[in-house]
Chain A
Amino acid sequence: MLRKYIIPLITVSLLLLGQSVANSYVSVKGVIPNLALIALVFFSMQNGPMSGQISGFFSGLIQDFISLSPLGFHAAVKTLIGFLSGLLHGNVFSESIFFPFLFIVIANLLRLILLGIISFLFPLPVDFKLFSFSFLIETGITALLAPFCFALLRKLYSVKRRKTL
């Protein structure tokens, strides 16, 4: 319970809160790496879809609390990202450098597509462009950091190595 649900949730939530504060200090062109997304994808891949969707739901809810977004907006997006990342549990070799990079690029793309779908279904004035300059910077920085973050999280989380299928 603690390892599968509480630690991922606390880690992702703390990174989100840290991001919101760091945004004022260390942003590049108004953008900072989305470390919370990296952590969510990592923990979901380690623990499976159930842990992923629950961590995603509650961390998304926290994000809704601290931003101008309506309640449930980020919660829905993060639940789906957590669930889909969890489906990769045990099916991929996440210890290589390339895969974390690829997963985060896909997850970030998926995040924006889901945000677009939800803001279309529940008419919300969310103004973002899928292939805007800031999105490319954010995706680039986040994806470049992903292999290092995965390695660090794996070490801290002391995950036993899983063999690829």
Chain B
Amino acid sequence: MRRILLFLKNHRNGSVLALLLLICCFMLFFRSGRQLVLPQQVGFSFFSFFQNAFHAIGNWTGETVNSIQKLKEMQDENQDLRKKLIKYRGMEREMIALRQENAGLRKVLKISEELQLLHISAQVIARDPENIFNTIVINKGLVDGVKKGDPVISVENGIRGLVGKVHSVGLTNSSILPITDENCFVAVRLFESRFQGLAHGQGKSGKIEVNYIKKRARDSLVKGDLVVTSGLASSDFPAGVFVGRVDHVQVKDYETSINLILDPVVSISKLEYVYIIKKEDNAP
């Protein structure tokens, strides 16, 4: 015993290093699924408070600096806008006609009916500090009614596209597992031909891979074809949300299915606002 104590005393740095690494290995080894659930949630809630503070300070500083410059710009802009207003009044009549036409087309496609979903809007406030993981942190958490596994969407170029799902929930913040992450799986179908498959992210490449698409689908596939969530009963995701556009097709002769590589509909790296979709019975 004395020998051990003497050894530890003589090799203090090495002993502490070994102990710390042992703790790390213990945590990594005994994680449930991918994460240790409870300590991680507590830690996430605590440190998300600081992330909120940093975000608020950054916003305030940026807005203060911008507001002075903006004031000058706004004066010039005001002059321009007055001129444009006259022009736009003429265009207004044309727009009313276009709106009516648009409303008619929407009815035909039933898009509005498919995507009328209860949602919580949230702002992206932080990302992974070292770009190793695809972490996205948003400013809504338990108190806002967010739950683990809730699907998250965003709107880009007028299209509602899938972002991912809620991975862990803190008190006022949550982290999102994006669709481009290798651990995010979604049941999907081809928008045109309705063939079904299973999509998951490809990690840092930012692409999405779809497996188990029947080989017959190959004939009708065109680059740029849209893929949507299928909304299977076992899936967390609602049906009809756009996931990505076909970039290319991988065919292996010895397999009965083909793989598709998609470009996501939403740019995950440019996200600013997202919408957390709630099922009607879970709505806050």
Chain A positions within 8 Å of B, measured between CB atoms, are 14, 16-25, 30-32, 34, 36, 48-50, 53-54, 57, 60-76, 79-80, 83, 86, 115, 118, 122, 124-129, 132, 134, 138
B181 to chain A: which residues have CB within 8 Å? 68, 125
B129 at the interface (CB under 8 A from A): yes
Judge whether B36 and A79 touch: CB under 8 Å: no
- A-B CB pair tally, cutoff 8 Å: 166
Judge whether A72 and B128 touch: CB under 8 Å: no
* Cβ distance B24 to chain A, nearest Cβ, rounded Å: 4
Cα distance A132–B202 in the bound complex, in angstroms: 16
B257 at the interface (CB under 8 A from A): no
B44 at the interface (CB under 8 A from A): yes
A134 to chain B: which residues have CB within 8 Å? 131, 204
Cα distance A128–B16 in the bound complex, in angstroms: 30
Judge whether A19 and B13 touch: CB under 8 Å: no
Judge whether B129 and A16 touch: CB under 8 Å: yes
Q: Is the interface of B mostly helix, strand, loop or mixed?
A: helix
Judge whether A127 and B203 touch: CB under 8 Å: yes
**Can you list, as one digit per residue, whether each of B110-146 has a CB less than 8 Å from chain A (1) or not (0)?**
0000000000000011111111111101000000000
Judge whether A63 and B46 touch: CB under 8 Å: no
B214 at the interface (CB under 8 A from A): no
Could you say which of B48-56, B71-79, B232-240 contacts chain A?
B48-56
Judge whether B17 and A53 touch: CB under 8 Å: yes
In the complex, residue of chain B having the shortest beta-carbon distance to the beta carbon of A134: B131
* Cβ distance A135 to chain B, nearest Cβ, rounded Å: 9
B13 to chain A: which residues have CB within 8 Å? 48-50, 53, 83, 86
Among the listed A19, A24, A61, which residue makes an inter-chain contact with B125, where contact means beta carbons less than 8 Å apart? A24
B31 at the interface (CB under 8 A from A): yes
Judge whether B51 and A66 touch: CB under 8 Å: yes
Can you offer 23 A-B residue contacts whose CB atoms are under 8 A? Answer: A20-B51, A21-B125, A24-B126, A24-B272, A30-B269, A49-B17, A62-B47, A66-B48, A66-B126, A67-B135, A67-B175, A68-B167, A70-B27, A72-B28, A73-B24, A76-B21, A76-B28, A79-B17, A83-B17, A86-B13, A122-B29, A125-B181, A132-B204
Max chain A CB contacts within 10 Å: which of B16, B23, B131, B177?
Answer: B131
**Can you list, as one digit per residue, whether each of B56-78 has a CB less than 8 Å from chain A (1) or not (0)?**
00100010000000000000000
Among the listed B25, B46, B135, which residue makes an inter-chain contact with A68, where contact means beta carbons less than 8 Å apart? B135
B216 at the interface (CB under 8 A from A): no
Judge whether B17 and A72 touch: CB under 8 Å: no
Within 8 A of A (CB), among B265-284: 269, 272
Judge whether B48 and A57 touch: CB under 8 Å: no
Among the listed B27, B44, B204, which residue makes an inter-chain contact with A66, where contact means beta carbons less than 8 Å apart? B44
Judge whether B50 and A65 touch: CB under 8 Å: no
User: Provided the pairs A34-B130, A76-B25 are in contact, do residues A127 and B182 lie with their beta carbons within 8 angstroms?
Assistant: yes
* Cβ distance A90 to chain B, nearest Cβ, rounded Å: 14
B105 to chain A: which residues have CB within 8 Å? none
Among the listed A63, A71, A118, which residue makes an inter-chain contact with B31, where contact means beta carbons less than 8 Å apart? A71
A128 to chain B: which residues have CB within 8 Å? 132, 204
A125 to chain B: which residues have CB within 8 Å? 181-183, 203
Given contacts A20-B135, A70-B34, 14 further A-B contacts (CB under 8 A): A20-B51, A34-B129, A34-B130, A48-B13, A49-B13, A66-B48, A68-B128, A68-B133, A68-B181, A72-B25, A74-B130, A76-B24, A79-B17, A83-B17
